[in-house]
Amino acid sequence: MDLFDLTGKTAVVTGGTRGIGLMIARGLLQAGASVYLSSRKPEAGEAAAAELSAHGRVVSVPADLAREEECVRLAAEVGGAEERVHVLVNNAGATWGAPLPEFPASAWDRALDLNLIWTSPQWSIGRFAVHSYSTRLLEFTEFQPTSTGLQPITREGTERGSPDQAYPKTKSNLMVDWDKAEFGATASLRYISAVQESQVINRLDSRTYVDAQLRWTPGFLDGIRLAVGVNNLFDKDPPGCISCGLNNYDPNAYDAPGRFYYFRLSYRQ
């Protein structure tokens, strides 16, 4: 009996387009599983899926899992295509390190989340909902080994550079939904506070991105939903990063230059 035979099983790996997540996805594929990758960046998901496709069936489902509605959408898309999920790897997230005797209790809750959700009554013009999510990074210390021991490096409010990783002190999402009968619309704002490059003297100014989506669920097509949308509506360029490894910007924190248009057709039984 092969204890690691996952033939016929389905796995979902969040943050599966790079680093440990990518390696986990590769291992699951090599064991015979079908793998769904989740990444905030559609282009990163497509690149990872192309790289891993030689090992088995892999599907990229772009989703920003810092937003609850995106978590629900990811679950719906996978659930609509698969009878069940056998393996879930919640790889997306933050890490830190310190010797156990020095590990501060504050490290467990170093980020303070401030969330607001409001839903209107069913008015004649439709129903509105407002979702606001904000995260404040209070403390993030990384310990790097040196010849004299572990050296603490304060990361909050900085951009590490290659390998690219920003640690903005504040990240916020504001989303306004409107739904009436078969139609719906969503407008959202994504804010990232300014950071300072740690390797050179350069400030990456704050960015606010605006996204919009229109939806139609035709009653005569049971279970079908059509959606069109645009991300980065006002074509905000990412701030220039001197020490970053890809095209002088951090693709993990900021949108690629240009608008991203999409059309989505989904079906639920």
pLDDT of residue 170: 94
Q: For 140, which DSSP code?
A: -
Higher confidence at residue 60 or residue 90? Answer: 60
Q: Is 12's pLDDT higher than 90?
A: yes
Continuous segment of H or E residues that includes residue 21? helix 19-30
pLDDT of residue 1: 42
CB burial string 215-248: b at 16+ within 10 A, e below: bebeeeeeeebebebbbbbeebebbebebbeeee
- When pLDDT is cut at 50, 70 and 90, the band that residue 104 belongs to is low
* Predicted confidence (pLDDT) per residue in 158-181, tens digit: 998 888 889 999 999 999 999 999
pLDDT of residue 87: 92
Q: Is 120's pLDDT higher than 80?
A: yes
The whole-number average pLDDT for the span 14-26 is 90
* Predicted confidence (pLDDT) per residue in 183-207, tens digit: 999 999 999 999 999 989 999 999 9
Q: Is 51's pLDDT higher than 90?
A: yes
pTM of the model: 0.58
Q: For 104, which DSSP code?
A: -
Q: Is 119's pLDDT higher than 80?
A: yes
Q: Residue with structure tokens 């599983």?
A: 33
Q: Is the dihedral of CA 112, 68, 158, 94 positive or negative?
A: positive
What is the residue-averaged pLDDT of the chain?
A: 87
Percent of all residues in the chain with a pLDDT value above 70, rounded to a whole number: 90
pLDDT of residue 94: 53
Helix (H, G, I), strand (E, B) or coil at 146: strand
Higher confidence at residue 95 or residue 236? Answer: 236
Q: Is 102's pLDDT higher than 90?
A: no
Domains and CATH numbers, the chain: 10-90 (3.40.50.720), 100-267 (no CATH)
pLDDT of residue 100: 58
pLDDT of residue 218: 92
* Dihedral of the alpha carbons of 36, 38, 43, 44, in degrees to the nearest 10: -100
pLDDT of residue 123: 92
